[in-house]
Amino acid sequence: MTITITAFEKSPDRGRGLARDMRVRWALEEVGQPYEVRLVTFKTMKEPAHTALQPFGQIPTYEEGDLALFETGAIVLHIAECHAGLLPRDPGARARAIAWMFAALNTVEPPIVEREATTYLERDKAWYEERLLMLEDRIRFRLTQLSRWLADAEWLDGAFSAGDLMMVTVLRRLESSGLLGEYPSLSAYVARGKARPAYRRAFDAQLAVFTSAHQADGRNGQASA
């Protein structure tokens, strides 16, 4: 059955693979499932045809036969449960890998997203610098805990899993902040994720979308993995 996902026609991340379709692309590449991509604009993603699939008018979505899903956590979990390669077979290890997916989305990502939102939306406020420092300390708190857990292990719990896929994509959002660089073991962990052939294929696919959209506009984009 054909799998179709949605992604930005022109991603505001300028091809850096930070938009959340990257998680879904990477998961599909890890399990060897081909997929098609329907590109949406900021306008069309708020229209009924898209909000019927994603009530919040966001990307990505996932369609496979009669099944339509939204939320990257649910999509990646579905992919990981349907195909071998992203979750261990042992029930305990499988449950722990899923716990790491939730940890990435519910515990590590929220202060990172808050910080990003602050840098976009609150720069002109008198309390901007103070709030930024507070959010960065919150992020450091989580990164310190995470790096203690990881210690010198390659992945979060044994073999690479959907938990690592989610955590690496979440941590990538810090790359331009300098915060990740304060944690060499986490930087190396992210680099290991990005070195996986499936990650490279997913990254190149989203970059191709950005490049062709901007070539069509007569502009040049720049991005690095």
Binding-site member from 5, 9, 15, 20 for ligand GTB (CB under 6 A) = 20
Contact of 15 with 219, CB cutoff 8 Å: no
Binding-site member from 15, 17, 18, 189 for ligand GTB (CB under 6 A) = 18
71 binds ligand GTB (CB under 6 A): yes
Binding-site member from 59, 104, 135, 162 for ligand GTB (CB under 6 A) = 59
Contact of 125 with 97, CB cutoff 8 Å: no
Q: Which is nearer to ligand GTB, 10 or 131 (CB)?
A: 10
> Cα separation of 21 and 196, whole Å?
17
> Cα separation of 187 and 37, whole Å?
30
- Binding to ligand GTB by CB under 6 A, coded x per residue (else -) over 177-196, reads --------------------
Contact of 44 with 50, CB cutoff 8 Å: yes
Cβ partners under 8 Å of residue 152, min gap 6: 185
> Cα separation of 130 and 159, whole Å?
40
Binding-site member from 17, 72, 168, 206 for ligand GTB (CB under 6 A) = 72
For residue 158, give Cα distances in angstroms to 9, 79, 93, 152. Answer: 37, 20, 8, 12
Ranges within 95-134 binding ligand GTB (CB under 6 A):
none
Q: Which is nearer to ligand GTB, 97 or 104 (CB)?
A: 104
37 binds ligand GTB (CB under 6 A): no
Q: Which is nearer to ligand GTB, 35 or 150 (CB)?
A: 35
Point out which span in 15-23, 92-100, 141-149, 160-168 binds ligand GTB (CB under 6 A).
15-23
Strand-pair partners of 63? 4, 68
The least distance separating ligand GTB from the CB of residue 166, rounded to whole angstroms, comes to: 10
19 binds ligand GTB (CB under 6 A): yes
Contact of 206 with 25, CB cutoff 8 Å: yes
Write out the residues near ligand GTB by the rule CB under 6 A. 12-13, 18-20, 57-59, 71-72
